[in-house]
Chain A
Amino acid sequence: MKKIMLVDDEQDQIFSIKTGFVEFYPNHYEIIPAENGKKCFEILEKNVIPDLILLDIMMPEMSGWEVFDKLRANEKWKNIPVIFLTARSDGLATSAGSMIADDYIEKPIEINELKTRIDNVLNKVKKKK
Chain B
Amino acid sequence: MIKNNVIGKKFVLADKLRLEELINNIFENSVKYSNNNNTDITIDAQKEKDYVKVSIKDQGIGMTKNQVKHVFEEFYKVDSSRHDSDSTGLGMTICKRIIERLDGKIWVESQGLGKGTTIFFTIPLYSKDTKIGKK
Contacts and interface: CB of A to CB of B under 8 A. Distances in A.
Interface of A: 10, 12-13, 16-17, 19-20, 23-24, 85, 87-89, 107-112
A19 B11 contact: yes
Interface in B102-135: 126-135
B13 interface: yes
A10 B130 CA distance: 17
A85 B133 contact: yes
Give the bracket for the number of chain B residues in contact with chain A.
Answer: 10 to 19
B128 A112 contact: yes
Contacts of A89: 135
A110 B135 contact: no
Contacts of A108: 131-135
A24 B126 CA distance: 10
Contact of B128 (A10, A17, A85, A111): A111
Interface string B7-34: 0000101001000000000000000000
B92 to A, nearest CB: 27
Given A23-B126, A24-B128, A107-B134, 6 more contacts: A20-B128, A20-B130, A108-B133, A108-B135, A110-B128, A112-B128
Interface of B: 11, 13, 16, 126-135
The B contact surface, by secondary structure, is loop
A111 B130 contact: yes
A17 B135 contact: no
Nearest to A19: B11
Given A19-B126, A20-B126, A23-B126, A107 B132 contact: yes
B118 to A, nearest CB: 29
Contact of B132 (A23, A88, A110): A110
Contacts of B132: 13, 16-17, 20, 107-111
Contacts of A24: 127-128
A110 B134 contact: no
A87 B131 CA distance: 13
B81 to A, nearest CB: 43
B47 to A, nearest CB: 13
B133 A107 contact: yes
A56 to B, nearest CB: 9
Contacts of B134: 87, 107-108
* Among all A-B residue pairs, the 4 with the closest Cβ atoms: A108-B131, A107-B133, A112-B128, A88-B135
B86 to A, nearest CB: 31
